[in-house]
Amino acid sequence: MSPYQLEIRVKPRPGLLDPQGKAIHHSLNSLGWEGVRDVRVGKAIYVDIDAESSDSAVEAAEAMCRKLLSNPVTEDFEISVTDMSEGGES
């Protein structure tokens, strides 16, 4: 088993109204960033996990997303994994 860190990014599905993103979008525009075309707000979840391999860590993360971390009705997710063992590579 090796230590891995998972970064799980959960974001609102395209097409779904994201009122937080909309509010931030307006604020950025009013601060002068007129070129901002769209803002969407998601969340990042960091999970430290011991796993056999980076593949199995990602597999676990996918299952976590389906069961708890994301709501399939409204959200999509993306996963990155980093090998945290000494000399490990992502």
Partner 1 sequence: MKVAVITFPGSNCDYDLYKAAQQVGADASFIWHRERDLKGYDAVLLPGGFSYGDYLRAGAIARVSPVMEDVVVFANSGGLVLGICNGFQILCEAGLLPGALVRNEELTFQGKDVRIRVECSDTLFTSDYADGQILRVPIAHGEGNFEADQATLETLESDGRIVFRYVDASGATSDEANPNGSWHNIAGITNEAGNVLGMMPHPERAMEDILGSTDGIGLFTSLASSLSGLAS
Neighbours of 4 (CB within 10 A): 25
CB of 62 vs partner 1, minimal distance in Å: 17
Which strand ranges, in their side-by-side order, compose the sheet holding 2-12?
43-51, 2-12, 75-83
Q: How far is the CB of 16 from partner 1 (least distance, A)?
A: 6
C-beta separation of 17 from 82 below 8 A: no
Nearer to partner 1, 51 or 70 (CB): 70
Task: Measure the CA angle with vertex 58, ends 54 and 61; round to 5°.
Answer: 140
Residues 10-69 touching partner 1, rule: CB under 8 A, are 16-17, 19-20, 23, 68-69
Smallest distance from partner 1 to CB 30, Å: 16
- Tokens representing 70 are 């994301």
Compare residues 23 and 63 and give the one whose CB is closer to partner 1: 23
The residues that touch partner 1, with contacts defined as CB under 8 A, are 16-17, 19-20, 23, 68-69, 71, 73-74
